[in-house]
Chain A
Amino acid sequence: MSTADTFRQADAALKKKRAWHWLEYVFWLAVAATVFLFPSQHTLLTQIAIWSLFALSLDLLLGYAGIVSLGHAAYFGFGAYVAALFAINFTGEPLTVLLVAGIAAGLLGLVTSLLVLRGSDLTRLMVTLGIALVMYELANQMSWLTGGADGLTGMPVNPVFGVFPISFRPTNSYIYVLCVLFVLFVVARRIVHSPFGYSLRAIKGNPLRASSIGISTNRRLIAVYALGAAYAGVAGALLAQTTPVVSLTYIDFQRSADVLLMLIIGGTGYLYGGIVGSALFLIAQKFIGNVTPQYWEFWIGFALVVIALFARDRGVFSIIERVANALRKEKAKP
């Protein structure tokens, strides 16, 4: 077999893997349907979509490259502040703002990745956390620029393409955010199913072996870290565009922790986990919060413990899977 043949075969195998499953079409159609089905919930849905993108960005690191981060909000918040400042000083054209925020956060990711790539899980956890805490302090100290604890307001948001106004229009905002999420999702999907994506998984599985078959481990990890940071930056910019204030909570520890929780609930390493997890988390938080505004934390905590007890890898889905398996066994019994 010639080398050309091998390449061709490998290429065909990759193509087959990255073809869309029918369930994925159903999923996205269902997501699109929410625009018409729940007109009164568009503000909540917008936030779910933004968190989804943010969780997706973390999934790129965690699910595909195995980098645990407890400070991912650093890039989210940085993107949001860049977006707001850029919009205030230059132009409020939303897509330009997203692009600028994404690039800026990506660059920050590129620089900081050098700090993150060393050491074990625990070390990474702490270094990412440290970076986020330093960013938080910076945003707080530079109040002349960021507004400090008062937050940054007055960010202009022009209509998309000059014709599609989004400020104060929950439905339009939702459609806009959803479109951005979908496009970036497709891009991410393409990337993780490319040779680059597979090399990442090889590194995640066993870095030593990966480098011994000629994968330059560090360069790839840096690249995916910057990519994840850029995605997070775009998510931050989206939240800045759909909320009237950019405040320190964009960058605080709780945001980093929440996004990690959402991703784990939904499951890592298949891109949909972030979307499912953030939807479940936020919907649960809202409805439990409405019933018991003071003590919803208890029930959320309870749910987390239960999920953790029964879930594996794929988050809540593994629970569904196990229940389904159990039922099947039950049926199989005579």
Chain B
Amino acid sequence: MLRKSFLAALAATALAVGTLPAAAQETVKIGIITPLTGPFASTGKQHETAARLYMQQHGTTVAGKKIELIIRDDAGRAENTARIASELIQNDKVSFIAGFGLTPLAMATAPIATNAKVPMIVMMAGTSIITERSPYIVRTSFTLGQSAVIIADWAAKNKVKKVVTLVTDYAPGHDAEKSFVDQFKSKGGEIVESIRVPIQNPDYAPFLQRVLDAKPDALYVFVPSGQGSILMKQYVERGLDKSGIRLIGTGDITDDDILNGFGDAAIGVITAHMYSTAHPSAMNKEYVAAFKKLNPSLRPNFASVGAYDGMHLIYEALKKTNGKTDGDALIAAMKGLKWESPRGPISIDPETRDIVQTIYIRKVEKKDGELYNVEFESFPDVKDPVKAAKK
């Protein structure tokens, strides 16, 4: 009995191995590597749902080729990402690698993409320098500088004079701090104090007490998207809201996916970011509804549009190359592409391969009993300010 089933399994394997190469000619494979477990798992889930949604809506055939999606978990660890990327390229013959939830994950994969000449779509990681690491990298998410500079502009215009900055003490935090501080100072603002809090930090109370004692007009915050909620709760608990200190920041702190769980503490927080679930376009309404249908436990956030637009970019590039999967041709096809996304109009900068998009100023409000980031001002065609400054 055992033997029989063993033989059957063997035969099945042989069959599968035998048919693989033939099928490979007709399919184009996309490998998404993203954190699906560990502390950044929600990013991966957003990516996965959005990518599947795109394929559901736009079909699995492009330019005569069948599209196959392979999703892998790297648990947020760089050596896994690098290993999976090279395995996907080498063994599964993927034509695109995509995902990348954190900066080091993208950095670890960049040389592999260069070496294999495979386009690499960054759907999340937001440090400016990433796209310079390989000519095969294209980004569909955002850069931290984009939001930080815009919120600085907005603050300077809206009678905020003294600001305390509070960022998490790691590289993206330093980026977010520097972009904001430089821009805010150049508009005549004053930075009273810059606080950096350690990554391993379950309790914000002491830092917020420090802010309260410094009495600024506003507190500018950047923390990894999961931690914003704790910070905000303690902001209210500590009475900072009543003492006239406004809370401003990049959109990471009011992550749409978890915003509703923040409670009324979050109402009135002002942030700058490229996507809100409440973006008032017909396309976005349809997107949100379809997304929730596919995965009712999630609310689409900025990570999801990164993946959705990344898939769009791949589809459009394949259309332009008529299904050819040559890396250089695909990258050339991606440069300068413009399209309407659920977040609004976006394009790929032909020079830097980075994203150009509208940044919105939003305020947290309660609509139909749920909390949303409601957009009230927009700054169109924002490029990555860090790269712009280098020129």
Contact = CB atoms under 8 A, between A and B. Distances in A.
Task: State yes or no: do A and B touch (Cβ within 8 Å).
Answer: yes
Interface in A198-215: none
A66 interface: no
Contact of B108 (A43, A133, A168, A244): A244
A284 to B, nearest CB: 14
Given A140-B199, A150-B103, A150-B171, A245 B108 contact: yes
Contacts, number: 105
Interface stretch (B110-118, B237-245, B325-333, B370-378): B110-118
Interface stretch (B84-92, B275-283, B308-316, B381-389): B84-92
A150 B107 contact: yes
Chain A interface residue bracket vs B: 20 to 34
A59 B340 CA distance: 57
Contacts of B76: 249
Nearest to B110: A244
Interface in A37-51: 40-41, 43-44, 47
Contacts of B157: none
Interface string B163-188: 00000011110100000000000000
A247 interface: yes
Interface string A231-264: 0000000010001110111000010000000000
A244 B112 contact: yes
Size bracket, chain B contacts? 35 or more
Contacts of B61: none
A270 interface: no
A97 to B, nearest CB: 17
Interface of B: 36-37, 41, 44-45, 71-73, 76-79, 82-83, 86-87, 90-91, 102-104, 107-112, 115, 127, 129, 133, 169-172, 174, 198-200
Interface of A: 40-41, 43-44, 47, 133, 137, 140-141, 143, 147-151, 153, 168, 170, 239, 243-245, 247-249, 254, 289-290, 293-297
B199 A289 contact: no
A183 to B, nearest CB: 23
20 contacts: A40-B87, A47-B79, A133-B200, A140-B199, A149-B170, A150-B107, A151-B107, A153-B110, A168-B112, A170-B90, A243-B78, A244-B107, A244-B110, A244-B111, A245-B108, A249-B104, A290-B72, A293-B71, A294-B73, A296-B37
A44 B84 CA distance: 9
Contact of B198 (A137, A170, A294): A137
Nearest to B76: A249
Contacts of B86: 43, 170
A293 B36 contact: yes
Given A137-B198, A149-B199, A150-B171, A47 B112 contact: no
A245 B90 contact: no
A31 B112 CA distance: 27
A44 B82 CA distance: 10
A247 B79 CA distance: 9
Nearest to B133: A153
Given A249-B79, A294-B36, A294-B45, A149 B172 contact: yes
A148 B37 contact: no
> Mostly helix, strand, loop or mixed at chain A's interface?
helix
A247 B90 CA distance: 24
A248 B79 CA distance: 11
A150 B198 contact: no
A289 B90 contact: no
A293 B86 CA distance: 17
A245 B127 contact: no
A141 B200 CA distance: 12
B115 A168 contact: yes
A239 B169 contact: no
Given A40-B87, A137-B198, A149-B103, 7 more contacts: A43-B86, A140-B198, A244-B112, A247-B78, A249-B104, A289-B72, A296-B73
A244 to B, nearest CB: 4
A249 B44 CA distance: 18
A177 to B, nearest CB: 13
Give the interface centre of A140, A151, A297 by most chain B CB atoms within 10 Å.
Answer: A151
A289 B73 contact: yes
Contacts of A133: 200
B83 A47 contact: yes
Contacts of B37: 293-297
A248 B198 CA distance: 14
B174 A143 contact: yes
A43 B174 contact: no
Contacts of A140: 169-170, 198-199
